[in-house]
Amino acid sequence: MKKIASALISVYYKDGLEPIIHELNKNGVKIYSTGGTQTFIEGLGVEVEAVENLTSYPSILDGRVKTLHPKVFGGILARREEGHLSQLEKYNIPELDLVIVDLYPFEETVASTNDESTIIEKIDIGGISLIRAAAKNFKDVTVVASRKDYEWFLNVYKEKQGQTEESDRKELARRAFLESSHYDTAIYHYFNAGNDAPGFKHSILESEVLRYGENPHQQGVFYGDFNALFDKLNGKAISYNNLVDIDAAVSLMREFVGQKPTFAILKHTNACGLAQRDTLLQAWTDALACDNVSAFGGIFVSNTALDLATAQEIDQLFYEVIIAPDYNADALELLSSKKNRILLKIKSWDAPKKTFRSLLNGVVEQDADLRTETAADFKTATTKSPTPSEVEDLVFANICAKHLKSNTIAIVKNKQMIGMGCGQPSRVDALNQAINKARSFGFDLKGSVMASDAFFPFPDCVEIADGEGIKAVVQPGGSIKDQDSIDYCNAHGMAMVMTGVRHFRH
Contact 364, 485 (CB under 8 A): no
Of 136, 170, 354, 405, the catalytic one is 136
CA 155/CA 304 separation, integer angstroms: 53
Of 122, 268, 354, 492, the catalytic one is 268
Residues 6+ apart with CB under 8 A from 217: none
**Residue 38 forms beta bridges with which residues?**
none
Give kind and range of the element (H or E) at residue 178: helix 166-191
DSSP state of 91: T
Pick from 230, 236, 170, 180: nearest CA to 205: 180
**Residue 420 forms beta bridges with which residues?**
410
268 classed as catalytic:
yes
**Residue 219: C-alpha distances to residues 213, 216, 266, 340 (Å):** 5, 7, 24, 22
SS (H, E, C) 286-318: HHHHHCCCCCCCEEEEECCCECHHHHHHHCCCC
CA 30/CA 167 separation, integer angstroms: 24
The letter for the amino acid at 387 is T
Task: Tell me if residue 18 falls in helix, strand or coil.
Answer: helix
CA 294/CA 274 separation, integer angstroms: 13
Pick from 104, 85, 103: nearest CA to 95: 85
415 classed as catalytic:
no
Does 407 sit behind a cis peptide bond, omega within 30 degrees of 0 on the bond before it? yes
Task: Tell me if residue 479 falls in helix, strand or coil.
Answer: coil
* Pairing status of strand 417-421 against strand 409-412: antiparallel
| Burial class of residue 269 in the structure, from the number of CB atoms within 10 Å of its CB (0-12 exposed, 13-18 middle, 19+ buried) | buried
CA 147/CA 286 separation, integer angstroms: 55
Q: Which residues are catalytic?
A: 136, 268
